[in-house]
Structure 1
């Protein structure tokens, strides 16, 4: 396995680590009679996750997000592009984003800080639709590159998710405005529009698919 693929795989492996710190342990696990001997330890761990886990999760998310693009750049520069890398890279990106949004939905229900289920559904749905669209294109022998709007979408999502994980820090230090929610709203708008723009500019893929039926 070459270096770019190792970086991509590392990003995937960071997803469960991220989830461990951001998502509290379910009550049925904490209160399980089978784990009664460590009930106090599990409660203490849950308190730590609820109070501080999001900050650790934010650091992990930033580290994982910062590798997005690095693996691709190295692969192109050193001519290390492989089928495994082409397969893993989009999966790593989607897993990280989906995991963060799902975790933030659960934190929103527990603490009031995070994102709504509608926000998560819209962003994840867009990613699934575009992934399916690319699969159709690949079936027709077409390779569709990421657009500038797509890169802007990724950047706004990363910033919005990071600020949400940090409970609106550093903005909460000097304003009561929920900047994280405004950033997430902007990310949703750009996410939806970039998806529409991507399909509109590559609509020949759908025409080609219809002609083949």
Structure 2
């Protein structure tokens, strides 16, 4: 008796699922794909700074350059305790004419600034103390999560507008949404970041190779493109 009851329950549940699926397929509906995107200026700019001792008669040690760097960055308003991070400490060996070896130490730092203007000020300030090995690591937008939600909502609204436009010539009304799918590519962000890094690095290298004046307003970074894609199915009446 218990087995029969269990079998009947499972059969009824399966029938209900099939009926719901059949009802969804049989009823008139319209499906639209919509995309919303925007460009934002990066507000998290990460610069790589390499401090390397000067190989000359009046050799300047890494420690001295490091001290000068800290003082210079503080003088332009950089919070070195919060925004400056030491990456590694390395020693490079170079051979000279007398086959002797000299240890040439270097340190790598990552500095975060919040605008292109600040990045320009940092580059100019470090050049003043003979630290010119500065490159772009990456850029980011601090409110990307909030912007992503806004774009999803915008894409859904756009999907409904498209559905209305498609249904109008048929004299049919667009009703409630039956299914909403978020098709935003999660890998898009990483690809976009790599593209921004490459483009911005080229801009920075081009600027340095031309020997242009290190004014802050001349430094610009590629804007970040954020996008959301949704697929929405509406019931038609």
**Normalising TM by the smaller chain, what interval?**
under 0.3
Higher relative contact order (CA closer than 8 Å, sequence separation 6+): 2
Structure richer in helix, relative to its length: 1
| Greater C-alpha radius of gyration | 2
Q: TM-score, normalised by structure 2?
A: 0.22
Q: TM-score, normalised by structure 1?
A: 0.23
